[in-house]
Amino acid sequence: MRFLHTADWHIGKTLSGFSLLDDQRELFKQIEDVAKAEQVDAVVIAGDLYDSSIPSETAVRALNSMLKRLNLVDKFPVLAISGNHDSASRLSAGADWFSFKNFFLQTSLAKAFNPVVLGDTQFFLLPFFGIQTVRNYFNDSKIKNVDLAMQRIVAEMEKSFLPAKKHVLIAHFFAAGSKRTADSETLIEVGGLSPVSTETLAPFDYVALGHLHNKNALHDERIKYSGSPMKFSVSEAKQEKGMWLVDTDPFQTKWIPLKPVHDIHLLKGSFADLVKDAKQQPTDDFYDIELTDQGRIPDVLNRLRAYYPKIVTLHRTALAQMTRRQANIKRAKAAPLDLLTDFYTETTGNQLSPTQLKVAKLTLSEIEGGK
């Protein structure tokens, strides 16, 4: 059995107000091309198909088009689960008849114990769950955290294991030993923040995880995060994105990188240097810019966007921030007329004329006199 392990598509996501849908469509084509080239027997999507529990109509049409392409046109079996970003009830609409076309979409804990059998493998599709849902299912109030919940879930799944088959779990949670590496990976709160122990997952031949966006968040031969197919935040700028190609017999995994459509760049420098070097940078990519200038630069964001249209974050270096704080403290103690003079010079680049200065003094005197 050979399958692609992907996750965290987050269709409909934006980055600082910029739509990522076109990039997501292009990356889907890369995923589809790999599936065809490697002649996989199935495609796994381990949760967070959408970025929002109430996705836009555009996002719904985009995801539907991708899934139809993989499943109905290319004839790949698709195995997917709902993640913490998805609305299980909305995502499950139509799931009852999807399986007739080898599209297996699981959003309910109660149905997670019935494996999908493809070739030599039993796939157990476990959607994102809440602790109370597990307590209710097993009628056991002693289940206090996510690892205890998973122990019960895995034990129940083992009852359906066929000895002659391989056993794969598809799930969406935080595993022990994992490192949360991106601010776009929202906390999963399911009645306790304890992670799922990798020992709890040992009965499976492979565990295809979603939720963490970095494949390097966990280093385990048989328990892996595929990460997201594209960079969704500045904290992911240095990550390589891709997916896992998994063979069950003989067991082996291969990392397949995906090429970013529009990358995220981390730039650091003075305003003057950034403007000078702009022609060397791709215009349509995303940028996190760290300014080293210590002085105030009027309308700096809009001025930089003339050269870097897709700035997602703009901030100062620690030294520049400290210098500005000191300047602000000094400014707070300055006389009102000095503040006005400094502001006018910084904004226009010119000094107040004698006439302007006279009017300013007169106006200030009237204000202070309460007239």
Q: What is the pLDDT of residue 364?
A: 77
Residues of the chain with pLDDT under 70: 177-194, 318-334, 345-349, 370-371
Q: What is the pLDDT of residue 91?
A: 85
Torsion of CA 40, 46, 50, 54, to 10 degrees: 140
How would you write 23-65 as a 3-class SS string?
HHHHHHHHHHHHHHHCCCCEEEECCCCECCCCCCHHHHHHHHH
Q: What is the pLDDT of residue 320?
A: 46
Please state, in angstroms and rounded to a whole number, the distance separating the CA atoms of residues 320 and 290: 10
Q: What is the pLDDT of residue 190?
A: 39
Q: What is the pLDDT of residue 327?
A: 52
For 279, the 3-state DSSP assignment is helix
The model's pTM: 0.83
Q: What is the pLDDT of residue 89?
A: 84
Q: What is the pLDDT of residue 361?
A: 82
Please state, in angstroms and rounded to a whole number, the distance separating the CA atoms of residues 2 and 56: 33
Q: What is the pLDDT of residue 344?
A: 72
Q: What is the pLDDT of residue 192?
A: 40
Number of other CB atoms surrounding residue 190 within 10 Å: 20
